[in-house]
Structure 1
């Protein structure tokens, strides 16, 4: 039976973009219930969708969500943030901490809080939305936070395997959402990213490589680091 058939899914950052697609496509694949979470959750015209207030940077909010959603079988860590100027040399301490709290510490704390809930279901999964920037640091804080989440995903995969919880990480380049609205580059649609993410999850894949950009960068990790960073290659030739 497909993993999402009859599942109870919790999606962070569910109000728009990829989060909304994940909610809708989970239901289309047979999920029985979806907790659609956000700091200020919106109303949904579907009795199968349960709006749930959740601030993933607040430990009390995480504990309250885990206590309320005791039937979750699939946890999706989708919520993320970035700041306008992401370079380490221009970030304030508060900005750096905000990015790391939302993109790394939050998903780690949420996964830890829900691990016993997932264990109780017998068949369960965690789906983490990474980025191609997990592997190539074209931004400072955002790349660092996604690289840390990628590493945490790999650790959780090992730690949660004995309880029967599958852990899948998704890598995607630019996506056609508000976060990437100022980027002039090919972008994947949220619908495509959600579809490929769920395809990989239901196939038991450890990683989902959504687009050619992510595939190319992952392949490039086996070569010289300067090949991934044109500025370094230029300096080396100067």
Structure 2
């Protein structure tokens, strides 16, 4: 289990709906400092929040951030992009590549760069995945493929980092009311509730957090026969 009291937290994609909640709720739980990262970091009204430029698709940007934030003890891989297309096979190859570069390759590259800091501090890692890791709509199948890869990466990172004292938590959620889902006419969860559950899970030593009933139901039925979404 990992306490956020006195922790140094780094949040990727901190300008978004979930990212902003990760920043504020970390401070509410006693974090000493939060690196709020984004391609174009914004200003914040709390001296404990350190804006930091980080493009998860740019190796140079990742290396600079890892050097500047070498005291990080909790890494939250929140940055991500989504795209809706008519179907998986109608998704342009370049669009799938763009999704993979941010959601999957970028997550791995950031984790790899910060792994030495997490090992030193025996800290923690939260990977923000999705119920689409396991079940996705046809229009979001390409996005779901990238999040399925995040599920696999998270499990593999846990197997590698766990024995070294690093807690690795996978966060899985359905549609959440953030700018990424703006315009989608679907039921949406609260980012406040999602982040609260993620941090509760971290502090309780959890390895997975399933943030809503739909996600919990899908996760519980992975052994069922495969059917069309």
Question: TM-score surpassing 0.5?
Answer: yes
2:221 equivalent in structure 1: 220
TM-score (norm 2): 0.95
1:79 equivalent in structure 2: 79
Q: Is the 8 A contact 1:132 1:214 kept in 2?
A: yes
Measure, in 2, the Cα distance between the counterparts of 1:83 and 1:225: 24
Q: Is the 8 A contact 2:176 2:188 kept in 1?
A: yes
Deviations for 1:138-159, whole angstroms, at most 9, x for unmatched residues? Answer: 2221000000001000000010
Q: Which moved more, 1:78-87 or 1:126-135?
A: 78-87
Deviations for 1:207-236, whole angstroms, at most 9, x for unmatched residues? Answer: 00110010111122121112xx35xxxxxx
Measure, in 2, the Cα distance between the counterparts of 1:2 and 1:153: 17
Where do 5+ consecutive residues of structure 1 fail to align? Answer: 231-238
Q: Which moved more, 1:180-189 or 1:65-74?
A: 180-189
1:15 equivalent in structure 2: 15
Displacement of 1:86: 6.6
Measure, in 1, the Cα distance between the counterparts of 2:90 and 2:224: 30
Measure, in 2, the Cα distance between the counterparts of 1:26 and 1:86: 38
Measure, in 2, the Cα distance between the counterparts of 1:183 and 1:71: 39
Between Structure 1 and Structure 2, whose CA radius of gyration is higher? 1
Q: Is the 8 A contact 1:86 1:140 kept in 2?
A: no
Deviations for 1:123-173, whole angstroms, at most 9, x for unmatched residues? Answer: 300001110000113222100000000100000001001221100001101
CA RMSD of aligned residues (A): 1.3
Measure, in 2, the Cα distance between the counterparts of 1:206 and 1:12: 20
Measure, in 2, the Cα distance between the counterparts of 1:147 and 1:118: 24
Measure, in 1, the Cα distance between the counterparts of 2:21 and 2:222: 31
2:127 equivalent in structure 1: 128
Which 4+ runs in 1 deviate beyond 3 A? none
1:234 equivalent in structure 2: none
Q: Is the 8 A contact 2:2 2:167 kept in 1?
A: no
Q: Is the 8 A contact 1:128 1:170 kept in 2?
A: yes
1:101 equivalent in structure 2: 101
Whether 2:91 is the aligned partner of 1:91: answer yes
Q: Is the 8 A contact 2:37 2:54 kept in 1?
A: yes
Q: Is the 8 A contact 1:86 1:142 kept in 2?
A: no
Displacement of 1:184: 2.3
Displacement of 1:91: 2.1
Deviations for 1:23-45, whole angstroms, at most 9, x for unmatched residues? Answer: 00000000000000000000001
Deviations for 1:179-214, whole angstroms, at most 9, x for unmatched residues? Answer: 212322221111001100000111110000110010
